[in-house]
Amino acid sequence: SSSNNNNNKIFLPDPRIARSVKLLRYEYYWAWSTNYVDADVLSSVGGMGIGIGINNRIFVSDVRDVYFQSNPFNFDASSSWSTTDAGAGGDGGDGDDTIRRGNKQQQHQTSLQVFAEDPSEFTIATQTSNARWIRETKGEKVLEEIGHNPIVCSGTTLGGAVAMESYLRAIIEEFDNTQCDIDGCDQGLHNYLLYSGRLLLANGNGATADAQSDPNNKNIATTNVLDRTNGTNRLALKVAEYSNNNDNTKSTASSTAIDNSKRSRRIDRIEFFSHGYGPVNTVGLFCGFGGKNALRKNGMLRRNENDVVPVVSNWDGTVTPVIHQIDRCAEIAGVLEREADLLWQLIIEGSFVDFLSDNL
């Protein structure tokens, strides 16, 4: 910006309504994502990709309440999960034996990974804010159609560069269509895009405007991946994939199920990781309604002798790469804040390098 004689800032013109930074960030996410998609893929959507690689993945994240414990791109789903094949629009089946859902498919350019909050207390429809965000942006009918689903947090999303670029462009399109400017409506639109089927039903250039909502999942095949450890039978992962099978049954999902050279869809697969199972653990509702020391009581928090801070784990005991909404878990938030203050003080004093050498 520059200043005129009246000291007023002058910005580039934007015909759209004013948006908060929480909403505006998606514009920056999208612009940056185009650098990681092949130029020929972006040519149909007017992008500015420089084609720096075909295996890129992107993770977009909140900042203030996010804590990294390891690299989320290295996450590998548990081999102890088993599947229940729900079919296209179905409610369940006998399933397979054991399947690994998080490795090769997760790395695919047209796969998207999203992270659900603890569903034990609320669904979209029963949580006041989430219901409002859907109702005020998409209407009561849409809330009735998708409101029974678990809340998926919009603060963290991971996926292949092609899928992420398309998702980000789709949510920006929804901002423009709805003219939404209420705080939090990005989460409403995030859940709408995921559960309505519009991302999977979008045409080859990734636009969602021509894609019809499909709340009954007539063209979407769903696989439920269950954690049967100790008889828990928790839903660990739900996989939704586009299906054009006329017999309304789900095709086999293997590491070669999606072929970019043969398929025009930019998002073929969405993986919904449940709380405590994926590369991101969104803990706000779990800590908020799970009682005092909810993480520790449920075996998801440990602190060994050599640990500087406590370690948060998934249900299977493996270290969760990313913890989201960590500030809502008092049993760990205070420790992290104190350690962060210490690190900043060391940086200011110039002794941070010495601290690292003594502790690594």
Higher pLDDT, 337 or 108: 337
pLDDT at 191 over 60: yes
Does the predicted TM-score (pTM) go above 0.85? no
| Whether 69 contacts 322, CB under 8 Å | yes
pLDDT-derived band at 50 (thresholds 50, 70, 90) equals: very low
Q: Which residues contact 183 (CB under 8 A, 6 or more apart)?
A: 20, 22
* Over residues 7-21, mean pLDDT: 74
| Whether 47 contacts 33, CB under 8 Å | no
pLDDT at 350 over 90: no
Provide the residue type at 139 as one letter. G
| Whether 113 contacts 279, CB under 8 Å | yes
Residue 90: predicted pLDDT? 38
- The fraction of the chain above a pLDDT of 70, given in percent, is 68
pLDDT-derived band at 28 (thresholds 50, 70, 90) equals: very high
Mean of the per-residue pLDDT values of the chain: 77
Q: What is the DSSP string of 279-340?
A: SEEE-HHHHHHS-TTHHHHTT-EE--TT-SS-EEB-TTSPBPSEEESGGG-HHHHHHHHHHH
State whether the Cα torsion 171-110-61-149 is positive or negative: positive
Higher pLDDT, 350 or 146: 146
* Per-residue pLDDT reduced to its tens digit, 65-93: 999 999 999 887 655 565 555 544 433 33
Residue 359: predicted pLDDT? 60
Higher pLDDT, 312 or 16: 312
* Per-residue pLDDT reduced to its tens digit, 198-229: 998 875 444 443 344 444 556 788 889 888 88
* Per-residue pLDDT reduced to its tens digit, 139-152: 999 999 999 999 99
Higher pLDDT, 350 or 286: 286
Higher pLDDT, 46 or 56: 56
pLDDT at 99 over 80: no
Q: Which residues contact 115 (CB under 8 A, 6 or more apart)?
A: 152, 153, 156, 157, 272, 273, 275, 278, 280, 281, 282, 324
* Over residues 248-276, mean pLDDT: 57
Residue 1: predicted pLDDT? 39
The DSSP H or E segment spanning 58 is: strand 57-61
Higher pLDDT, 3 or 322: 322
Higher pLDDT, 70 or 108: 70
* Over residues 128-157, mean pLDDT: 96
Residue 133: predicted pLDDT? 96
Higher pLDDT, 167 or 11: 167
pLDDT at 307 over 80: no
Residue 178: predicted pLDDT? 92
Q: Give the tokens for residue 227.
A: 């954690």
pLDDT at 326 over 60: yes
Residue 285 backbone dihedrals phi, psi, to 5 degrees: -70, -35
- Least confident range of 162-171, 223-232, 310-319, 321-330: 223-232
Residue 302: predicted pLDDT? 86
pLDDT at 266 over 60: yes
* Over residues 300-310, mean pLDDT: 80
What does the alpha-carbon distance between residue 341 and residue 308 come to, in Å, rounded to a whole number? 14
